[in-house]
């Protein structure tokens, strides 16, 4: 059984245009299905507005999906009561993109990491403090940083605090929503290395949401490519990157700059009329799916 299974997830946002004009519907997530096995690093890639972040947030019900099912260990979390959902979130945590806005500027680092333990009423004060110390060590922060405020940390350190907070409750699934996008490349490499280390050590499963294809190619086991709210291609990372089948995936991959100045630039421009936007995903090879 997959750890997480998303079935026909739909999220429509209704945009109102004033009193006299009819509202319009934005199909941010439009019938998305995928599943993630335990211990897997699953990449969800796409450009801005593709619906990848909305998908991540719908899974945690930070945004309520319009329709669909989200099965976590076989149970449909969309039918959970508020209290039950809060329990479930112990197992599903998120690391956000912006380490500047996702940490409370008025809380000390130690308190930020401790807060989930307090909310879930875990352990005594002393036990919680010991756990925070453990988490700090885990993400490579010094204990002397407990009393500091977020602004006293660099971007990379802040993201480590965000990761420590996400790991406080020992989740099984971590949703990393552009978790390293805002970081400089050398810091990004450190944080990614940390996330991979923690995955092995704590047996974590990741939903890694990103727009950086080079990064995803490097670290993910499987990848799904989103375009205008739909998954247009999904498969093993190597297969998908070496033989992309959907016109959008091809255009996207061809747009990534390569580090070789002499590499041939076979830029493929997407012709939206060249494919059927409503075509369903179908299996086109061994664990390789495309909407063609």
Partner 1 sequence: MPVPLLDVQHLTVVFDGVRSAAAAVNDLSFNIAAGETLGLVGESGSGKSVTAFSILRLLQPPGRVASGRVLFEGRDLLSLPEQEMRQVRGARISLIFQEPMTALNPVMRVGDQIAEAITVHERVARAQAWDRAAELLDAVHIPDARRRLRDYPHQLSGGMRQRVMIAIALACHPPLVIADEPTTALDVTIQAQVLDLLRELRARYDLALLLITHDFGVIAEMADRVAVMHNGWLVEEGPVRQILRAPAHDYTQRLLAAVPGTRMSGNGGPS
CB of 86 to partner 1, least distance (A): 34
For the bound state, the minimum distance from the C-beta of residue 215 to partner 1, rounded and expressed in Å, comes to 4
Task: Kindly list the distances between the CA atom of residue 151 and the CA atoms of 66, 103, 109, 133, 154, in Å, as whole numbers in the listed order.
Answer: 37, 9, 10, 20, 8
Report the nearest approach of partner 1 to the CB of residue 213 (Å): 7
67 or 218: CB nearest partner 1: 218
Identity of the residue, 117 or 219, whose beta carbon is nearer to partner 1 in the bound complex: 219
Q: Return the number of the residue (125 or 214) whose C-beta is nearest partner 1.
A: 214
Per CB under 8 A, residues contacting partner 1 are 47-48, 155, 184-189, 192-193, 196, 211-215, 217-219, 241, 251-252, 254-263, 265, 267, 270
Least Å distance between CB 194 and partner 1?
Answer: 10
Report in angstroms how near the CB of residue 179 gets to partner 1 at its nearest. Answer: 13
Nearer to partner 1, 147 or 258 (CB): 258
**CB of 232 vs partner 1, minimal distance in Å:** 14
Give the residue with the Cβ less far from partner 1, 182 or 284: 182
In the bound state with partner 1, the residue whose beta carbon lies nearer, of 197 and 283, is 197
């Amino acid at each position: 059984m997959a750890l997480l299974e998303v079935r026909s997830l739909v999220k429509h946002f209704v945009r109102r245009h004033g009193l006299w004009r009819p509202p319009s519907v934005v199909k941010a997530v439009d019938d998305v299905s995928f599943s993630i096995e335990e211990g897997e690093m699953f990449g969800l890639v796409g450009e801005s507005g593709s619906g990848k972040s909305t998908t991540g947030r719908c899974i945690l019900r930070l945004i309520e999906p319009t329709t669909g099912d989200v099965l976590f260990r076989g149970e449909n979390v969309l039918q959970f009561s508020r209290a039950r959902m809060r329990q479930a979130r112990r197992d599903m945590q998120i690391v956000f993109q912006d380490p500047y806005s996702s940490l409370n500027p008025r809380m000390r680092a130690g308190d930020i990491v401790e807060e989930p333990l307090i909310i879930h009423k875990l352990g005594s004060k002393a036990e919680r403090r010991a756990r925070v110390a453990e988490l700090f060590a885990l993400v490579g922060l010094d204990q002397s940083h407990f009393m500091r405020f977020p602004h006293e940390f660099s971007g990379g350190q802040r993201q480590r605090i965000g990761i420590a907070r996400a790991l406080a409750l020992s989740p099984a699934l971590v949703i990393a929503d552009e978790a390293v996008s805002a970081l400089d490349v050398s810091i990004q490499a450190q944080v990614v290395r940390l996330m991979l280390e923690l995955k092995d050590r704590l047996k974590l499963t990741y939903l890694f949401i990103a727009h950086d294809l080079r990064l995803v190619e490097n670290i993910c086991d499987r990848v799904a490519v989103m375009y205008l709210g739909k998954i247009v291609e999904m498969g093993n990372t190597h297969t998908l990157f070496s033989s992309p089948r959907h016109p959008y995936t091809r255009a996207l991959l061809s747009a990534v700059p390569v580090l070789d100045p002499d590499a041939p630039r076979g830029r493929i421009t997407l012709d939206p009329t060249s494919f059927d936007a409503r075509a369903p995903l179908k299996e086109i090879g061994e664990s390789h799916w495309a909407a063609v």
